[in-house]
Structure 1
Amino acid sequence: MKKLWRFLVKPSSRYSVLAIAVVCVIITLAGVFTFHESIKFSSTTEFCTSCHSMKENYNEYKTSIHYKNAYGVRAECRDCHIPENDPIAFMKAKLGGVGDIYSEFISKDIDTPAKFEANRLRMAQNVWRMMAETNSATCKSCHSYTAMDHAKQSPAAAAAMTTAAAKNMNCIECHKGIAHQLPHINNDFKATFKQLTINAGEAPATKTLYTLASKKLYTTDSASGDAQGQLYPASKVEVLGTSGDMIKVQITGWQQQGSTTGMLVQDMAKQIQTVSLNADLQKSATILNTVKTEDGQTWQQEQVSAWITQRNMLASMKPIWAYGKEILDATCSQCHAIPDPKHLTANGWVQGLKAMQQYYMLDKDEERTLLKYLQDNAKDAPVAAPQAAE
């Protein structure tokens, strides 16, 4: 015991206890400072996006309201991904970041865009799990239920947020995909489309057909020349004749008088796109009717004939609407309750869907089919509008 006490009192014949204590304090402070600065630097947006696999994530973030908004307030990576007021959750988040570095440089699970997309769902679920476990602590560090003025919110938002506040709901329950694109969670509609294309390998022998996908228009019975326009999904055509693999069809639509866009819409004064014609094909269109609306606009009902290939044409709209409903269910259920198509007018859905573009991943034809499904079942749709198959 005496030797131990002597060592503790005077551990070295060369250095005093005070000197050694000072050195230990300096080393400790240096260690704490280094650790603090390392944590601070590794939490910056610059560090988080320094790996090339995160560049696309960064580009997605730059299009979000968290990056740029009317209030000039920006949420950085750490503000959403690192719960700073919970030490355990904080360290778990930092360890998760280490896992991303491992996946980037060692296991190479996410070092290419294709690999990143393949793992996007897994990584998103990890973030959603963290937010669920902390009751969206990072979100609520900025957004407080008690600080919300529901009178300044839209009626729909006020109703939703009042309910959420009463239950102290987890933000991520309704607000996935705020800053980054959502992963594909349900791709069943793609399998449906694939089966429909198999069924639509050759056009049925009927007078009326409906497009499953976009179709190029030609002025002759050959698809080897330049296309003269485009017929959009879920559009009705009348068959005039056939020639080998080609069908001559008649397309009817509306266009505002004086318009030079070449776009014919399904119904007068509604932005339900049917076909886009180039200048030459538009000149061949026949005017069937001219109507002046109550707001003073003049609309022309026009008819044009063109050739299309036989593929991807169906005898009924019902399977197309069933497919459109699947797209709606799979796409919109990721973030919120599935909207009723009758929630908006046909024209209202154009902006309504556009506002959601950053939150879903659909190709052009999928998006057009979804929009047309919503428009043809909107609150101002005719009573006889086609409905989704049960």
Structure 2
Amino acid sequence: MKLVTDIWRALSKPAKHLTLGTIAISAFIMGIIFWGGFNTALEATNTEEFCISCHEMGDNVYKELQETVHYSNHAGVRATCPDCHVPHNWTNKIARKMQASKEVFAKLTGAINTREKFLNKRLELASHEWARFEANGSLECKQCHSYKSMKWEEMSKLAQKQMKRAAKRDQSCLDCHKGIAHHLPDMAASRAPELIAEVGEGPSKFDDGEQYFSSLTKPLYLSADATEEAGLLNIATEVTVLETKGDRIKLHIDGWRKRIGAGRVIYFGFGINMNSAQLTMTAAKTDGVIKVFEDKVDEMTGLTWERVEVTAWTDADYMLKEQQPLWDYAKTTFQSSCSVCHTQPAENHFDANTWPGMFQGMMAFVNFDQDTEALVQKYLQAHSSTFSKEKH
């Protein structure tokens, strides 16, 4: 303690023998030494060798990068990890390094130290990077790629059209080019985390005879304790709850089916290809599951449709009392994701049976998980010219 006190006194006393110039020069030299050491350490953590020194990166995303044109190409120009994932300007670089403290903690706790853990977290990790690129307009990409330097005449007509529109808006590259350096997450296996965060998991108690809506695609069962799935309840489907038993609810679904095969697919309405549920072959042939009320011929296709009621069980989670939160989420997603490459058509521009073909043709250009994809398509169908009272 005495030593610390003595040092503090020495530092706090005015200099008796050193000139102001000597002090200034000494401080300047020490500043250079400190800055040089700090910057050297900073740059040491900003190399590809450092990034892939942990097996979480070296055995996963780095191997994927090696398969792409960003790693090996005819020009011999390679994009390394920090080229794409660390901002080049100093201020943002320091901010990104501070964020990396979370990654150090994840390393210490083994958050993604196995391939299985990594894949399970992949969508979350990718979403963070996509959000960062969206926020800064893909600034790292544009350190090498410039709209002004592009040779439009060497592009295909379609590429010219899309890229010129993107250049006019200085659009973020990742809006259309996700998955260009690494594999995309398994979108089909995810459970729409952003949707669930917004609408919640639903009520814990259900009123018999009341209507509810599924907020995810959910398995159907033939009984309250069955383990074998009998089909799927589609997202945003209206059901009537009949009974609650443990963690499951018994429900019925009103709809229509085509008199083709076992009639396993249940549609929202007559002549409208908007899915409400799909049953397995066994479930569709099980007595008491499907009740038929009437049949009707679709003059446009010549097919006979049957108005039906399906009775089945499903898990009690992810059910909502109101449908509007689902439509609000779908509308926002449609407007934000389907306008980055072109001006999206109005919802009532197509009818309910035309929208699926148009919508599925665009799925290669966006990154929707399975439930979000199904929800947005259903939203477009439900707000199409088939149901819209407004003239387009």
TM-score, normalised relative to structure 2:
0.57
1:312-353 CA-to-partner distances (Å, cap 9, x unmatched) read 333322122223334445655676667643454434443444
Cross-structure match for 2:24: none
Residue 136 of structure 1 pairs with residue 146 of structure 2: yes
Q: Amino acid of the residue matched to residue 145 of structure 1?
A: W
The one of 282, 293, 297 equivalent to 1:291 is 297
Give the distance between the partners of 1:303 and 1:338, measured in 2 at CA: 36
> In the TM superposition, what are the counterparts of 1:240-389 in structure 2 within 5 Å?
241-245=242-246, 246-260=248-262, 262-283=264-285, 284=287, 285-287=290-292, 288-328=294-334, 331-332=337-338, 340-378=346-384, 380-383=385-388
Preserved contact between residue 263 and residue 284 of structure 2 (Cα < 8 Å): no
1:137-190 CA-to-partner distances (Å, cap 9, x unmatched) read 6x966xx3245675xx59xx85x666557x495672853326356799x97534
SS of the equivalent of 1:273 reads strand
Give the distance between the partners of 1:76 and 1:317, measured in 2 at CA: 45
Cross-structure match for 1:30: none
Give the distance between the partners of 1:320 and 1:264, measured in 2 at CA: 20
The one of 218, 222, 227 equivalent to 2:221 is 218
Cross-structure match for 2:152: 145
Give the distance between the partners of 2:195 and 2:244, measured in 1 at CA: 32
Preserved contact between residue 247 and residue 308 of structure 1 (Cα < 8 Å): yes
1:269–1:132: structure 2 CA closer, same or farther, 3 Å change rule?
farther
1:255-295 CA-to-partner distances (Å, cap 9, x unmatched) read 22223461112133433211111234323423322223323
Q: Amino acid of the residue matched to residue 386 of structure 2?
A: A
Residue 201 of structure 1 pairs with residue 211 of structure 2: no
> In the TM superposition, what are the counterparts of 1:12-31 in structure 2 within 5 Å?
none
SS of the equivalent of 2:205 reads coil
Give the distance between the partners of 2:311 and 2:245, measured in 1 at CA: 17
The one of 219, 227, 230 equivalent to 1:228 is 230
**Deviates most, 359-368 or 253-262:** 359-368
1:232–1:188: structure 2 CA closer, same or farther, 3 Å change rule?
closer
Give the distance between the partners of 1:265 and 1:317, measured in 2 at CA: 17
Give the distance between the partners of 2:84 and 2:323, measured in 1 at CA: 51
Percent identical pairs in the alignment equals 20
1:211 Cα deviation after fit: 1.8
How many residue pairs match? The answer is: 296
1:199-254 CA-to-partner distances (Å, cap 9, x unmatched) read 4222245532222223333334x234433222111111234x32544543222222
Give the distance between the partners of 1:316 and 1:99, measured in 2 at CA: 41
Cross-structure match for 2:70: 77
Give the distance between the partners of 1:243 and 1:122, measured in 2 at CA: 42
> In the TM superposition, what are the counterparts of 1:12-161 in structure 2 within 5 Å?
51-54=58-61, 57=64, 76-77=69-70, 93=79, 96=82, 113=118, 120=126, 121-122=128-129, 125=133, 128-136=138-146, 144-147=151-154, 153=158, 158=161
Residue 191 of structure 1 pairs with residue 194 of structure 2: no
Q: Amino acid of the residue matched to residue 289 of structure 1?
A: D
TM-score, normalised relative to structure 1:
0.57
Preserved contact between residue 265 and residue 279 of structure 2 (Cα < 8 Å): yes
Runs of at least 5 residues in structure 2 that lack an aligned partner in the other structure: 1-48, 50-56, 87-99
Give the distance between the partners of 1:376 and 1:315, measured in 2 at CA: 18
1:308–1:168: structure 2 CA closer, same or farther, 3 Å change rule?
closer
Give the distance between the partners of 1:130 and 1:337, measured in 2 at CA: 26
The one of 240, 260, 276 equivalent to 1:238 is 240
Give the distance between the partners of 1:95 and 1:312, measured in 2 at CA: 39
1:192 Cα deviation after fit: 0.9
SS of the equivalent of 1:375 reads helix
SS of the equivalent of 1:294 reads coil
